[in-house]
Chains A and B, each alone.
Chain A
Amino acid sequence: MSAILPPSERVWWNQPIDKLEFTWIAIALVWSLVMFAMMIWWHIFGNQNLANETYKTTKEMYAAKTQAVVDQYTVRTGDEAEKQFPIVKPPAGSDIYLIGRLWDWWPVYELEHGKTYKLHLSAMDYMHGFSLQPQNINIQVHPNYDHVIKITPNAAGIYSIVCNEYCGIGHHTMVGRMYVK
């Protein structure tokens, strides 16, 4: 009789389905399959796919690799507004390591637009959230995992890296920077 009573026809399975209801189910099924195909299609033809390349690492090992890149390619020391962090300009195609820690993104990289770099992300303490603005690319950053993403900046500018995973009382001060020339 109604949804709060048992079905009035004991063998409800054999009741015919309303025509419009059936049409809607068919449409919804097709749309579901289109959306499923869309993700696969983008893996083949799209340019924005998160890489699957990840390594287990340790905080010490990751910090040492980052330090090595900083030692090799630092072009100057930043000013006050750059927290006096090293400004690092590695050649196109190289591995660049970014550290997320309480409450900095370290160091500051200077990249060339149209060139590809292998960006590594890892955290030193809690989890952090890599949120590149105003691009709006958002990636979760874990401690003890080294996540490698090939990035190709498509426009020059000053980019900010906001932390968008809660990481304690100073979370709102955790902003880094990336230059694209």
Chain B
Amino acid sequence: MTTTYRICPRSGLQFDTNAEKLMRWHAVAGVLSLLVGGIMALGVILTRWPAVKLLEADVFYMVLTAHGIDMLIFWIIFFEMAVLLFASSTLLRCRMATPKLGWVSFWLMAIGAIMTNVAIFQGESSVMFTSYVPMQAKWHFYLGLILFAVGALLTCFIFLGTLVVAKAEKTYEGSIPLVTFGALTACIIAIFTIASGAVILIPTLLWSLGYIREIDSLMYRTVWWALGHSSQQINVSAHVAIWYAIAAIVFGAKPMSEKVSRSAYFLYILFLQLASAHHLLSDPGLGSEWKVVNTSYFMYFAVLASMIHGMTVPGAIEQAQRLKGYNKGLFEWLRKAPWGNPAFSSMFLSLIGFGFLGGISGVMMGAEQLNMLIHNTIYVPGHFHATVVIGTTLAFMGLTYFLVPVLFKRELLFPGYAKMFPYLFGLSMYMVALVMMGAGTLGVARRHWDMAFAGSPMAYEWPGAAYLMMGLTGIFGTIACVSGGLWILQIVFSLLFGKKLEEGEMRSTPIPLTLPAPTPGGAAHPPATPGTMVLALIFLTSFILYYFVNWKYLSSLWSMA
């Protein structure tokens, strides 16, 4: 394959056209998975809404399985592979390594995704996203996941290969950009994740084919969560990288400190994967010492890292805005931010929601003893809709608005909807996460067709507030599904019918990155960030209060030892 380079006239970015095409295909495959997952979401939400109860039990569990896998695996990982290609060949202005292998990897992922979806919709693989043994799915359910994972693994190696190419061909000077460093973190975590997935899914495939007699359920859960949870850690690294990228693109923001931000990423590499223990805190057979050390990412070092990113991203924006003269009071920099730019508003809502809703709830439920309060309740999906939907998906969706003209070379249709979308979708997801966590605090089970327990003589009567919150989940969930659906339509219509934009200059050789000479005597002292500090302290106060309220709640339970 010959390599040509396109200089995007709108962003100044340089794309290797091979990589660019792959990015587009990955992004489109991701959005298609999001479409399937989104339709399934509507089925889930309308069934769990007690007043509606749309689907029959068997269909509900099938739809829920598809929703989990299409969203948590296919949508996100397809998109992340596009992010890896972007953060390597585009940001480093080099050619992509092994483009042919890139297509092999893409098609493995696509075939795998289709195969698993076929298995699910045939109806005999309603085993949920987690496919816990001894409940068995059809063999092609597992095989599809394995093929998808192998494809993703290949792209991870292509990413690493591209870093080597850039270094060898000297297309940049000094260190790789922070966003690429974040993508590298995501890639390292992805390799760990996929390897864990192989360790557990290959034996499970053999078991479903009859070659292995039994798989221990505790062993399965322990290893599977090194796939299931770690794959969400790829998301964290990737969407934090996107926060930095959007701050850089929209504001020209410079990281407050390269050392701090990169060290925080390094803490992710060292500690983030321990968190698969979060899922095992209420399991038998694992010691408390193991649980305490692992669930806390060894003394909460990964939480520390997230708290650092949570401050340095808005801090970088505050510095950039203050340098532009928005210096009045604590928050003029924030008030005068481009709230009508969907890339920015998505990113900021993603950051706040991820921290306040996803972060605080995640740490609370990840405390060994507190986990008993919410294990397997609908609190858990409440939490991860705050992290994965508000945190990751909203950031990806916001970035897509930037990619339509830059990567797809089309003018965005319905720009008015784009302005509204982050608020409509983002804030309704805030509410979904909150009311699900509320219902979960009252004990309502997740993955459960009927909270009224129809047909059970011993039926338990949930408090009225639990019904209210599940009703609200339905209402806000529907708003989120519809606004997300309109986003998909908007993107698809723009790609098909939007005005074609100018390609830009095509070249056969890349233009290497040159850096301005460092300012003599070191960089000018950047402005202080008191506004961000106030936000951070509000966050910390909410965190501490909520954390101890839950210990208080725990202390009211039966004694257990």
**Which B residues lie within 8 Å of A32 (CB)?**
299-301, 303-304
A86 vs chain B, min Cβ distance (A): 14
**Which A residues lie within 8 Å of B448 (CB)?**
164, 166, 171-172
B247 vs chain A, min Cβ distance (A): 7
**In the docked arrangement, what's the CA distance between A1 and B247, Å?**
12
B458 and A81 form a contact (CB under 8 A): yes
Give the interface residue-count category, chain A. Answer: 35 or more
A19 and B528 form a contact (CB under 8 A): yes
Is B196 at the interface (CB under 8 A from chain A)?
Answer: no
Most buried by A among B447, B460, B536: B460
**Which A residues lie within 8 Å of B543 (CB)?**
31
Say which residue of B179, B528, B529 sits within 8 Å of A3 (CB atoms): B179
Binds A, one of B27-35, B186-194, B552-560: B552-560
**In the docked arrangement, what's the CA distance between A144 and B447, Å?**
23
* Contact A166/B311 with A2-B252, A36-B296, A40-B292 known, Cβ cut-off 8 Å: no
**In the docked arrangement, what's the CA distance between A137 and B561, Å?**
13
Is A107 at the interface (CB under 8 A from chain B)?
Answer: no
**Which A residues lie within 8 Å of B300 (CB)?**
31-33, 35-36
With A4-B248, A46-B555, A152-B559 known, 10 other A-B pairs at CB within 8 A are A3-B253, A4-B91, A5-B177, A21-B312, A23-B533, A39-B295, A42-B369, A140-B376, A142-B218, A150-B560
* Contact A175/B458 with A39-B369, A151-B558 known, Cβ cut-off 8 Å: yes
**In the docked arrangement, what's the CA distance between A137 and B375, Å?**
8
**In the docked arrangement, what's the CA distance between A140 and B218, Å?**
10
B359 vs chain A, min Cβ distance (A): 12
9 nearest CB pairs, A to B:
A147-B284, A32-B300, A160-B460, A164-B445, A138-B375, A2-B248, A12-B258, A3-B244, A164-B376
* Contact A138/B260 with A54-B285, A172-B453 known, Cβ cut-off 8 Å: no
**In the docked arrangement, what's the CA distance between A149 and B543, Å?**
31
Q: Is the interface of A mostly helix, strand, loop or mixed?
A: mixed
* Interface bits A1-41 vs B (CB < 8 Å: 1, else 0): 11111111110110101111101110111011101101110
Binds B, one of A61-69, A91-99, A125-133: A125-133
Report B265-286 residues with CB < 8 Å from chain A CB: 280-286
Report A81-106 residues with CB < 8 Å from chain B CB: 81-83
Is A77 at the interface (CB under 8 A from chain B)?
Answer: no
**Which A residues lie within 8 Å of B316 (CB)?**
3
**Which B residues lie within 8 Å of A129 (CB)?**
375-376, 445
**In the docked arrangement, what's the CA distance between A168 and B367, Å?**
29
A82 and B172 form a contact (CB under 8 A): no
**Which A residues lie within 8 Å of B557 (CB)?**
48, 135-137, 154
